[in-house]
Amino acid sequence: MVKPPSDLEKFESFVEIVEALRGPDGCPWDKEQTHRTLAPFAIEESFELAEAIESGSTDDIVGELGDVLLQVVLNSVVGRQAGDFTLADVIRGIAEKMVRRHPHVFGDTSLKTSGEVLQNWAKVKAAEKAGRAPLSHFDLPKALPALQRSHKIGDKTQKAGFDWPDAHGVFEKVEEEMRELREEFAKVPRETSVASDASPSALPADLRKALEHEIGDVLFSVSQLARHLGLDAEQSLRVANSRFESRYFKMRANVETSGREWDTLADADKEAAWQQAKRDLK
């Protein structure tokens, strides 16, 4: 049995715990992990942290920050055991980067506004990456969620002088893409438009490809509209998902409380229950 550290508030104690998990008498699962197997968990924990922040629950935020910290330390221990890098390398690297990218704080550069800070940040970042192979054409991680990536692509092209002049222009583009989607959607047989029947074989291949194209264009343009309005499409969708879930389960609870069977309700009754749930949650 491995004895845990006595002072669990110290960062060193946490590192010692993770080291023990990867040690000879540690956890079989933890000892099997590699950077590649841990990558999906890093993405998942980042999303859970974002959800906790949106919920406003301090306890949830603290818990999810701990989970993110675990990913950093665990990957660092894996790196040390492989002889590639150490936790000290990770800390030194990010510390040097923060000093380098904040010359207005740690140097003599004068930057007065957030806009100036972001412009200088991009300039320093570009200098750092000069000569290095980019992660992609826009130097963005491929694992980014599609809406978030779309937003960042817009940021990149805006800085290069290729963007709509204002949000009104983007809204017109959204409407244009919706018209094009509507034209393709008009070709969808009504009997195949039910979600449970919408298998890949439910539509002709060329129509399916056209619809995928047009839906993608709508999503991309909506993402750019959010960006022009100072909103984040990814966050907006997460909030919408959460709102729908709350209303849906409130609706189901209301129906159950009333003594009715959900499966026996007519569509009109389900819609009435949905509207009642919306009013209850306002």
**84 in the same domain as 69:** yes
The domain of 191 spans 146-231
- Render pLDDT for 49-64 as a digit per residue (tens, 0 to 9): 988 998 888 999 999 9
Q: Print burial letters for 72-82: b (CB count within 10 Å at least 16), e (below 16).
A: bbbbbbbbbee
In a domain, 273, yes or no: yes
C-beta separation of 74 from 18 below 8 A: yes
Which of 42-48's residues contact partners 24+ apart within 8 Å by CB, and which partners? 42/68, 42/71, 42/75, 43/143, 45/70, 45/71
Residue with tokens 């092209």: 157
**What angle (nearest 5°) sits at the alpha carbon of residue 56, between those of residues 142 and 239?**
50
pLDDT in tens, 169-198: 999 999 999 999 999 999 998 876 555 555
**Same domain flag for 153 and 96:** no
**Low-confidence residues of the chain: pLDDT under 50:** none
Helix (DSSP H) and strand (DSSP E) numbers for the chain: 12, 0
The reply to whether 107 falls in a domain is no
Number of domains in the chain: 3
